[in-house]
Chain A
Amino acid sequence: MSHKPFTPAPAGSRLLMSGNEAIARAAWDAGVRVAAAYPGTPSTEILENIARYPDLYSEWSVNEKVSLEVAIGASLAGGRSFCAMKHVGLNVAADALMTLTLTGVVGGLVIAVADDVGFSSSQNEQDSRFWGRFAHLPILEPADSQEAYAMTLAAFDLSEKFDTPVILRLTTRICHVKCLVEVGERSVRRIAEGFTKNPARWVMVPAHAQRRVPEVYAREKALRSESEITPLNRLEAGTDGRVGFVTSGPAYMHVRETFPDAPVLKLGLSYPVPMDKVRELAAQVDTLVVVEETEQLLEGEIRAAGIPARGKDILPAAGELPPHVLRKSLAALFPALQAAGGEAAPAALPVFPRPPTMCVACPHLGVYYTLSRLRNITIAGDIGCYTLGAGHPWNALDTTICMGASMGMALGLDKGRGPDDAKKSIVAVIGDSTFMHMGMQGLLNIAYNQGNVTVLLLDNRTVGMTGGQDNPGSGRNIHGDDAPRIDFAKVVAALGISPEHIRIVDPYRLPDLLKTLREEIKYEGPSVIVTNRPCVLIDAYEKQPSYAVNEEACTGCGNCVEVGCPAIHVTRREKVVKPSGKEVELAFANIETAACTGCGLCLQPCAPGAIKAAKSGSPVTFV
């Protein structure tokens, strides 16, 4: 990513912007003083972009809860504040949110929450609109980048007018879709010149908190009225009254495209639901259909209000609802309905899957190759690039739940072990960023309760999966400036791991890694092995001269293929019968020299020593 500051385009400019870029610009135009986030697909680029604007404070926080707490503090200090996260991030930040909704705000406070509808890079598909109901706060849902810009501005106004945090609910099809956005003028406003002490308001002990509850219900009622009159909720007339749609977010665009003649209630402020407007639409049409990604939420509330509606009985319960899905779902119910387009598409041709892989020379390759050699172990995994260790060829990761879960689950697997697992070793694998996000407490818990767990802490000095953002392990802040760098060995020791069981290993040296792992697995107590090589995609990584296979020397043992480096390709397979009579399949390999960066992992298991330094000027294949 670029740390380069840039000069914002003048007001009135029309720019090709993703939803994330548009929200960043809107935060700047809204005069936000403090913006904080932890990276997470599809929300990451919001803060990456905000950080490039002048005259506001931005940071990568260590997790989403901290980012929200920073935003709350900044709001109380009197300025506008903002934080962004992926959907599962708000689970982490929910503790702060559920009481923030009682206190209310001073400066406008907006939380952008990006749902991964369609599972492009997440462990679940939870629907963030629920938080509106749970926390009694407004939910705004833009349908494209221009609306993302406008609704971010509207969210700050709502936040201050109604004394409430506001959630801007995004999905991947908002965050990562680009379209032209007309940007406006920046206007900086402070609601207060400083923090005003007011314990009844800001110290949420039971007596104080209790008194805030009626205020929250009154606020919700006022927001319900606002929802009926705001231009963010729009009833669009149509010429074909057989079916009318209630919809929000990107689903609105899909509905409008598929049924151009249908009346549509487009919700921008989707919670509280403007039920009078829904009734108004229902009165105009034969059948009301609610199109919402992903849960059955509006539909249930509309039916509970006594308005008949269809929805998830015909539409998929999960995933996106693009035009071809809408056409298919609604055709079943309304054969005569005129949908735009809709010629039957031919079937997809069968092609092998192409799952994501680890990068060429990734330091995690050595770790997973080594883990795949060990027997009788259970491996608790975590969230990051290294989750890919669950895939081929390593198959060396047994669990993934959420950020930091490897620590707690490993201890549970140890303490709860049954007779079948009596002799099994428990290993946990966690990356540096995930460790700092939610793993440290779990390790403290392992140390405190003396778990028999070996923790592999893969320190690659960046948040890898989301594209290499800085963190306290990289030694740089969000702007790329120097920042204090965490010392993992010291932190781990301070948490209670005994110094002789804190091992630092080079993950490119397979024998060291195997020996260290075996020793620490044997030790019946908590231990931590820290690997110390940087992610190959960041500046700290140094390329080495590349390698090639001497094809005459290759015996087809296939050991190098087991490393799992994408620069290694099998050129041919051959079945042979060994003198013992056993049939084995040989795999002869070559190395894509142009892609190889010389980490040297593959030559370590090569039985015949057939991998040699590539000669200079060797033929270049695809890069």
Chain B
Amino acid sequence: MSQTTNILVVGIGGQGVMTASEILSEAAISQGYEVKKTEVAGMSQRGGVVSSHVRFGPRVLSPEISPGETDILVGFEVAEAMRWSHYLRAKNGKSGGVAMINRLRLTPPIVSLGLFDYPCDPVAAVRARGLEVHDFDAGSIARELGDMRLVNTIMLGAISGKLPFPADTLKTCIVSRFAKKKPEMAELNARAFDLGKAAGRA
């Protein structure tokens, strides 16, 4: 099944995880791939964990990515990236899974109440798996652009160089969502995408 690309997008309800995977699916469809996208998000709106699986290739059967078979892990939050890191494909010669992590730390009430500890350095824990890991602060880029909702586009920009199709395909998918109704948002998202792309190369 190596012809199938597996992308796992993880975060917390309300962060835009499902929108990001929707856009990824649209981009893959535009390239003629068969796509399946799934998530379990029954309670995600209540601050729970969200994980969205996107699989595309010539033919996709099961919608679920198995542990150890993720090509790209997109972590909207560091502890969530760590939670799902065993889904990444182990290094096999040159190839192996890639983790793209937003450095944001979101402390849940259960940690605030002192019942559990937040891991000290989740990025280092993922890196210890010996895989390609990129981490950056998508929130600060979004803040400079003046709209926190842009984190989503920044993360997609960051992985755009790792996909089996041109980065511009993904960019076009995002920009065209806004082009008709909100041209100023289209422009802002294009900039966010480019800044994310640069950050993802670092």
Give the CA-CA distance A385 to B47 in the complex, in Å.
12
Please determine whether A177 and B37 come into contact, CB atoms closer than 8 angstroms: yes
Please determine whether A622 and B82 come into contact, CB atoms closer than 8 angstroms: no
Residues in A382-409 with C-beta less than 8 Å from chain B: 385, 388, 392-393
Given contacts A121-B42, A352-B111, A359-B46, contact A347 B64 (CB under 8 A): no
Interface residue total, chain B, C-beta cutoff 8 A: 63
Give the CA-CA distance A622 to B12 in the complex, in Å.
12
Please determine whether B46 and A357 come into contact, CB atoms closer than 8 angstroms: yes
Neighbouring A residues of B107 by C-beta, 8 Å = 569
Please determine whether A16 and B118 come into contact, CB atoms closer than 8 angstroms: no
Please determine whether A570 and B63 come into contact, CB atoms closer than 8 angstroms: no
Give the CA-CA distance A24 to B37 in the complex, in Å.
19
Please determine whether A345 and B68 come into contact, CB atoms closer than 8 angstroms: yes
User: Which residue in chain A gives the minimum CB-CB distance to B119?
Assistant: A351
Give the CA-CA distance A178 to B82 in the complex, in Å.
26
Cβ-based interface call for B38 (8 A): yes
Neighbouring B residues of A465 by C-beta, 8 Å = 43
Give the CA-CA distance A328 to B29 in the complex, in Å.
32
Give the CA-CA distance A41 to B43 in the complex, in Å.
9
The interface bits of chain A over 332-370 (1 if a CB of B lies within 8 angstroms of the residue's CB, else 0) are 000000001101111111011111111100000000000
Neighbouring A residues of B85 by C-beta, 8 Å = 348-349
Q: Identify which of A355, A569, A622 contacts B112 (C-beta below 8 A).
A: A569
Neighbouring B residues of A42 by C-beta, 8 Å = 42
Given contacts A257-B62, A341-B1, A341-B66, contact A354 B36 (CB under 8 A): no
Cβ-based interface call for A176 (8 A): yes
Cβ-based interface call for B179 (8 A): no
Please determine whether B64 and A352 come into contact, CB atoms closer than 8 angstroms: no
Please determine whether A176 and B114 come into contact, CB atoms closer than 8 angstroms: no
Give the CA-CA distance A172 to B63 in the complex, in Å.
12
Neighbouring B residues of A177 by C-beta, 8 Å = 36-38, 63
Other A-B pairs beyond A173-B38, A353-B116, 12, CB < 8 Å: A16-B22, A120-B40, A120-B43, A172-B40, A172-B42, A173-B64, A179-B36, A256-B62, A346-B68, A352-B110, A352-B111, A569-B112
The interface bits of chain A over 171-201 (1 if a CB of B lies within 8 angstroms of the residue's CB, else 0) are 0110011111000000000000000000000
B158 to chain A, nearest CB (A): 17
* 19 A-B contact pairs sorted by A residue (CB < 8 Å): A16-B26, A120-B42, A176-B38, A179-B63, A345-B66, A345-B86, A346-B67, A346-B86, A348-B83, A348-B85, A354-B47, A354-B48, A354-B108, A356-B13, A356-B44, A357-B48, A392-B115, A622-B104, A623-B148
Give the CA-CA distance A385 to B13 in the complex, in Å.
15
Cβ-based interface call for B93 (8 A): no
Please determine whether A354 and B49 come into contact, CB atoms closer than 8 angstroms: yes
Neighbouring B residues of A116 by C-beta, 8 Å = 42
Residues in A312-326 with C-beta less than 8 Å from chain B: 320, 322-324
User: Which residue in chain A gives the minimum CB-CB distance to B115?
Assistant: A392
Neighbouring A residues of B82 by C-beta, 8 Å = 349, 351
User: Which residue in chain B gives the minimum CB-CB distance to A619?
Assistant: B143
Neighbouring B residues of A254 by C-beta, 8 Å = 61-62, 64
A240 to chain B, nearest CB (A): 17
Cβ-based interface call for A132 (8 A): no
Neighbouring B residues of A178 by C-beta, 8 Å = 22, 25, 35-38
Task: List chain A positions with a Cβ less than 8 A from chain B.
Answer: 16, 41-42, 116, 118, 120-122, 144, 172-173, 176-180, 250, 253-254, 256-258, 320, 322-324, 327, 340-341, 343-349, 351-359, 385, 388, 392-393, 465, 467, 537, 561, 564, 566, 568-570, 573, 585, 587, 589, 620, 622-623
User: Which residue in chain A gives the minimum CB-CB distance to B83?
Assistant: A351
Neighbouring A residues of B87 by C-beta, 8 Å = 345
User: Which residue in chain B gives the minimum CB-CB distance to A623?
Assistant: B148
Please determine whether A351 and B25 come into contact, CB atoms closer than 8 angstroms: no
Q: Identify which of B46, B90, B116 contacts A385 (C-beta below 8 A).
A: B46
Interface SS majority for chain A: loop
Please determine whether A173 and B63 come into contact, CB atoms closer than 8 angstroms: yes
Residues in B17-69 with C-beta less than 8 Å from chain A: 22, 25-26, 29, 34-49, 60-64, 66-69
User: Which residue in chain B gives the minimum CB-CB distance to A568?
Assistant: B112
Please determine whether B148 and A620 come into contact, CB atoms closer than 8 angstroms: yes
Give the CA-CA distance A177 to B40 in the complex, in Å.
9
Cβ-based interface call for B164 (8 A): no
Neighbouring A residues of B145 by C-beta, 8 Å = none
Neighbouring B residues of A589 by C-beta, 8 Å = 112
A468 to chain B, nearest CB (A): 9
Q: Identify which of B12, B40, B92, B104 contacts A354 (C-beta below 8 A).
A: B12
Given contacts A179-B35, A345-B68, contact A354 B29 (CB under 8 A): no
Task: List chain B positions with a Cβ less than 8 A from chain A.
Answer: 1, 12-13, 22, 25-26, 29, 34-49, 60-64, 66-69, 79-80, 82-83, 85-87, 90, 92, 104, 106-119, 122, 125, 129, 139, 143, 148-149
Q: Identify which of A347, A349, A356, A622 contacts B43 (C-beta below 8 A).
A: A356
Give the CA-CA distance A564 to B149 in the complex, in Å.
26
Please determine whether A351 and B61 come into contact, CB atoms closer than 8 angstroms: no
Given contacts A180-B29, A352-B116, contact A388 B46 (CB under 8 A): yes
Give the CA-CA distance A359 to B83 in the complex, in Å.
23
B135 to chain A, nearest CB (A): 16
A99 to chain B, nearest CB (A): 32
User: Which residue in chain A gives the minimum CB-CB distance to B15?
Assistant: A622
Given contacts A352-B111, A357-B47, contact A343 B40 (CB under 8 A): no
User: Which residue in chain B gives the minimum CB-CB distance to A388?
Assistant: B46
Give the CA-CA distance A330 to B195 in the complex, in Å.
47
Neighbouring B residues of A320 by C-beta, 8 Å = 64
A14 to chain B, nearest CB (A): 8
User: Which residue in chain A gives the minimum CB-CB distance to B53?
Assistant: A177
Neighbouring B residues of A347 by C-beta, 8 Å = 86
Please determine whether B114 and A570 come into contact, CB atoms closer than 8 angstroms: yes
User: Which residue in chain A gives the minimum CB-CB distance to B89?
Assistant: A343
Q: Identify which of A324, A343, A393, A573 contacts B109 (C-beta below 8 A).
A: A393
A202 to chain B, nearest CB (A): 39
B130 to chain A, nearest CB (A): 10
Please determine whether A343 and B1 come into contact, CB atoms closer than 8 angstroms: no
Neighbouring B residues of A587 by C-beta, 8 Å = 114
Given contacts A41-B42, A176-B40, A623-B148, contact A573 B114 (CB under 8 A): yes
Neighbouring A residues of B45 by C-beta, 8 Å = 467, 537
Please determine whether A356 and B48 come into contact, CB atoms closer than 8 angstroms: yes
User: Which residue in chain B gives the minimum CB-CB distance to A320?
Assistant: B64
Neighbouring A residues of B69 by C-beta, 8 Å = 341, 345
Neighbouring A residues of B122 by C-beta, 8 Å = 351
Neighbouring B residues of A585 by C-beta, 8 Å = 114
Give the CA-CA distance A299 to B107 in the complex, in Å.
46
Please determine whether A340 and B1 come into contact, CB atoms closer than 8 angstroms: yes
Give the CA-CA distance A530 to B90 in the complex, in Å.
56
Please determine whether A622 and B148 come into contact, CB atoms closer than 8 angstroms: yes
B72 to chain A, nearest CB (A): 16
Neighbouring B residues of A359 by C-beta, 8 Å = 46-47
Given contacts A16-B26, A355-B48, contact A346 B129 (CB under 8 A): yes
Neighbouring A residues of B68 by C-beta, 8 Å = 324, 343-346
